[in-house]
Structure 1
Amino acid sequence: MSPATDGKLSVSALTALVVGSMIGAGIFSLPATFGRASGGFGAILAWLIAGAGMLMLAFVFQTLARRKPDLDSGIYAYARAGFGNYLGFASAFGFWAGTCIGNVSYFILIKSTLGAFFPVLGDGNTVVAILLSSLLLWGFHLLVLRGVQEAAVINTIATVAKMIPILVFIIVVAVAFDRELFMMNFWGGPAAIAPDPDLAHLDDYGRIGHAAAELVTVPQESLFEQVRSTMLVTVFVFLGIEGASVYSRYARNPRDVGLATVLGFVGVLCLLILITLLSYGVLLRPELAALRQPSMAGVLEMIVGRLGAIFISIGLIVSVLGAFLSWTLLACEVLHAAAHDQAMPKLLTRENVHGVPSAALWLTTLFVQLFLVLTYFTEAAFTLALELTSSLTLVPYLLVAAYAVKLAHTGESYENGAGRGKDLLVAVLATAYAVLMVLAGGLKYLLLSALIYGPGTLLYLKARHEQGMAAFTRREKGVFALMLLGAAVALAGLAGGWIVL
């Protein structure tokens, strides 16, 4: 069925939006990211926690789509309906800012991938890399200006195309899987592997095989620390689960939104677990930790040679470009919806002749461009973008889950009470998971998030001024004061050197 034959999106197109949004940069970085943080058992626990928590959140989106079909702009509308104008704005702005910074991470990883073949691109944050990323950014800007439905069709095609290298990777690594090696990595693996001078030439993707050109070490942490250190990574790879919800106003049937969310989530979760665990059966943990990103390329190169790395690199570029398109659409839609509800300046309601929220798109592109330039001044640009994206987006997720708790607790939309207890339990579990993830991310990313949320409130103040309304209620003043305090502490930390980008 065509995704847009009648101007509306089918369940397959909505599912493609979810999968296309979730499968981007993060999935290709899993082997090294988990190798640095955890052994096999810790990885299993991390995915069990993340999978259960995000499944509860997927069920929350499904429930809200069924019980509140009139709230057709998803993640923003739920927060506003549940907790008022300012927290509704914060949800929209946080989701938008996190999406934009997530798009920056995509550009970094594309250039880092190409940097293995063209050293001038380095790790994705050299001057040349930033210039090339900027050209791509504005190219996509022009594409989206041509129409949302056309972009959705392209996204569906890209989603199918990106699945091919991922499935090939899983099959090849499963065939090469070494059970004894997996068990060596199960409880954390060796702390280090000794150098082998005969392998000094193997440096394109780190240390390939079961030896290294230099001593490689990984921290031997407790199981709790292994799991905790993977939490923001698991959040990042699940971002996009709200894709169908944000675009619910385009759905042919509102019930398709919940179905698409759950179908997309379950499929992606299976892929994430397989890629992570199978990699422990191919390389020792220190070797996984030493791989250049995208580390899936290094794992496949170890098995089939250089062509494996090239194959995965091409797949990553297709995947990331498709995910960038999905996230750009989501970011613009949230800004546009918030502006229509008067939580953002009226300017952001503007659409072009194709029905695209053009003013929102311009602001989105300019924000991404700003952060692309800022990556030049950071050492670990990809990791910073990944974890800051997760931290920013957790606030909107928390508000959505809390709204579901409020609905079930008050009984609103539960005329005869049927299903209320089950929905309340699911919503409480989703809320607890979101709180746990915020705490697991640590103080640094909370403060950096406040540094973005605080100044972003100027958009809200502008919108309230346009309506001739008071900026905040008494409760909202307290929330804003906390954001400003966090922003001030973050600035002091950056100036004092105890917060490092």
Structure 2
Amino acid sequence: MTERRNSARSTEKVGLLSLMALVVGSMVGAGVFSLPQRFAQEAGVLGALVAWAVAGAGMLTLALVFQSLALRRPDLDAGVYAYARAGFGEFAGFLSAVGYWAGACVGNVTYWILITSTLGAVFPGLLAGGGFVAALVSTVGLWCFYHLVKRGVREANAVNRVVTIAKVVPILVFVLLAAYLLDPEVFAQNLTGADYTGSLFEQVRETMLITVFVFLGVEGASVYSRHARRRSDVGRATVLGFLSVSAVFASVTIVSYGILPMSQIAELPQPSMAGVLASAVGPWGGAMVGVGLLVSVLGAYLAWTLMAAEVLFVAAEDRDMPRFLAVTDDRDVPVNALLLTTLLTQAVLVVTLFSANAFDFALNLTAALSLFPYLLTAAYAVRLAATRETYADDLPSTRRRELAIALAATVYTVFLVYAAGIGLVLLGCVFYVPATLLFARTRRERGERVFSARELVLFTAVVIGAAVGLAGLGAGWITL
């Protein structure tokens, strides 16, 4: 790993609670409020239970991988990028960093779509989160958050802690009310699925990408590891945050099946959690969920903005991104990385004006872009355990246990790639090709060749994937 040029610069440190709030804040965002409708479109109660069991177990292995790597490689910051670089080279690390960053920016756009959709109930000009007025409101909010983060890491994390607590309360109230009002007959009717759902395996497969999106953020503490007071807090925050949030996600999904027939839930507008509760207790239930969504989404947006800028900054400090992205101000804020993050989010926001199905597409693309960094992280953990690197002082049983966990995490992420479908993977390649200009600029700044022989092979594969993706868009078998 390249020695940091600014190693002497002090950073603002945060503790376990702040790191855990970052994990919870980044995971609990737009996705949880869309779960009832998105699951009801694909699966019944049994399918949902199996999907959450598989997703929970799989993501737990990833959380444990992040916990292990935080302790075994404490020299690596912004782990979701750094582990890929350490294990598989600079270009693989670059693709991991830029894909994770782009996925965060695309995901942030879905937050503004949901915000304006919710406000549309009060201000009809914003209805459905579309149109010029909605884009203008979103733009104002986007740049307000840009200036908030610029005030400093500590201030942003303080806001994130308060918001995290405030947004979890309405979700817990929804779960308790829906469980109390659950109709056993309706729940039984939704048990195996509807006539539009397939076999149990198909139901599980079709819902896996949904679970990926809502679990994004499990790596939040790892991404922000350079600010941790104690390195051990990174791993603990990851596992504790994941376990608490996964229980809430599964509960929101399952109790909804006892309120309405799944065919009706599948037709609800987003945020569907509001429609479910409103049907059970009246309009005030929908209003409560709407307020909770606004707080939740704004908090998640703050957390993801912090993480996206941090990944670019650490990659630039390691000289794997252009040097202008490594610039910080006197508050330790990576100002250029933050600005570029905000600009890409703004650009995607404008593109949504011309998209008929922007919300679902953005959710799925965000999940797909995150799979590559997750896969490389799990594979790196496998490599460390297999080669015994960093395990010299450990018992053989410890290495075998962590190798088994890393292998399980790798298999899980490979399954997620399959569940995502080839179309989204190829669309990811379409983004990677022009983004590689940043990698080329970095190599030129260092006075080196743009690609080594092995990196050129990987880049060629990405170019071929992008060409097939563009051809698929033209032929219509890949749609936006």
* TM-score tier (shorter): over 0.9
Determine if the alignment matches structure 1 residue 462 to structure 2 residue 467. no
Instruction: State the match for 1:149 in structure 2.
Output: 154
Determine if the alignment matches structure 1 residue 131 to structure 2 residue 136. yes
Q: Distance in 2 between matches of 1:227 and 1:117?
A: 37
Q: Distance in 2 between matches of 1:287 and 1:259?
A: 40
Q: Distance in 1 between matches of 2:38 and 2:364?
A: 12
Instruction: State the match for 1:62 in structure 2.
Output: 67
Question: How far off is 1:117 after superposition?
Answer: 3.4
Q: Distance in 1 between matches of 2:68 and 2:329?
A: 33
Could you list the per-position Cα deviations for residues 196-229 of structure 1 after superposition, in whole angstroms to 9, with x for gaps in the alignment?
Answer: xxxxxxxxxxxxxxxxxxxxxxx23121211111
Q: Which runs of 5+ in 2 are unaligned?
A: 1-10
Letter in 1 for 2:289: I
Determine if the alignment matches structure 1 residue 355 to structure 2 residue 332. yes
Instruction: State the match for 2:257 in structure 1.
Output: 280
Instruction: State the match for 1:200 in structure 2.
Output: none
Q: Distance in 1 between matches of 2:422 and 2:120?
A: 32
Question: How far off is 1:352 after superposition?
Answer: 1.8
Give the one of 38, 47, 54 matched to 1:49: 54
Give the one of 317, 339, 357 matched to 2:294: 317
Question: How far off is 1:492 after superposition?
Answer: 2.2
| Residues 305 and 341, structure 2, Cα contact 8 Å, conserved in 1 | yes
Give the one of 357, 360, 364 matched to 1:383: 360
Letter in 2 for 1:413: T
Q: Distance in 2 between matches of 1:154 and 1:116?
A: 27
Determine if the alignment matches structure 1 residue 259 to structure 2 residue 231. no
Q: Distance in 2 between matches of 1:495 and 1:121?
A: 32
SS state at 1:37 partner: coil
Question: How far off is 1:417 after superposition?
Answer: 4.1
Q: Distance in 1 between matches of 2:468 and 2:127?
A: 32
Determine if the alignment matches structure 1 residue 91 to structure 2 residue 100. no
Q: Distance in 2 between matches of 1:220 and 1:321?
A: 34
TM superposition score normalised by structure 2: 0.96
Q: Distance in 1 between matches of 2:370 and 2:312?
A: 14
Instruction: State the match for 2:208 in structure 1.
Output: 231
Could you list the per-position Cα deviations for residues 355-382 of structure 1 after superposition, in whole angstroms to 9, with x for gaps in the alignment?
Answer: 1100001100110000001111111111
Letter in 1 for 2:100: F
Q: Distance in 2 between matches of 1:115 and 1:482?
A: 44
Q: Distance in 1 between matches of 2:47 and 2:121?
A: 30
Q: Distance in 2 between matches of 1:125 and 1:93?
A: 28
Question: How far off is 1:294 after superposition?
Answer: 0.4
Determine if the alignment matches structure 1 residue 341 to structure 2 residue 318. yes
Letter in 1 for 2:203: Q
Give the one of 426, 437, 455 matched to 1:476: 455
Q: Distance in 1 between matches of 2:47 and 2:450?
A: 46
Q: Distance in 1 between matches of 2:466 and 2:459?
A: 11
Question: How far off is 1:498 after superposition?
Answer: 2.9
Could you list the per-position Cα deviations for residues 317-348 of structure 1 after superposition, in whole angstroms to 9, with x for gaps in the alignment?
Answer: 00000000000000000000000111100010
Letter in 2 for 1:31: P
Please give the root-mean-square deviation of Cα atoms over the aligned residues, in Å: 1.1
Letter in 2 for 1:431: T
Instruction: State the match for 2:77 in structure 1.
Output: 72
Instruction: State the match for 1:407 in structure 2.
Output: 384
Q: Percent identity?
A: 54
| Residues 145 and 356, structure 1, Cα contact 8 Å, conserved in 2 | yes
Q: Distance in 1 between matches of 2:418 and 2:356?
A: 24
Give runs of aligned pairs for residues 138-217 of structure 1, distance below 5 A.
Answer: 138-189=143-194, 191=195
Instruction: State the match for 1:330 in structure 2.
Output: 307
Q: Distance in 2 between matches of 1:458 and 1:74?
A: 23
| Residues 125 and 381, structure 1, Cα contact 8 Å, conserved in 2 | no
Determine if the alignment matches structure 1 residue 105 to structure 2 residue 110. yes
TM superposition score normalised by structure 1: 0.92
Letter in 2 for 1:448: L
Q: Distance in 1 between matches of 2:469 and 2:197?
A: 30
* Larger displacement relative to structure 2 (178-187 or 57-66): 178-187
Could you list the per-position Cα deviations for residues 45-94 of structure 1 after superposition, in whole angstroms to 9, with x for gaps in the alignment?
Answer: 10011000000000000000111111122111111111110001111101
Give the one of 263, 270, 286 matched to 1:293: 270
| Residues 21 and 323, structure 1, Cα contact 8 Å, conserved in 2 | yes
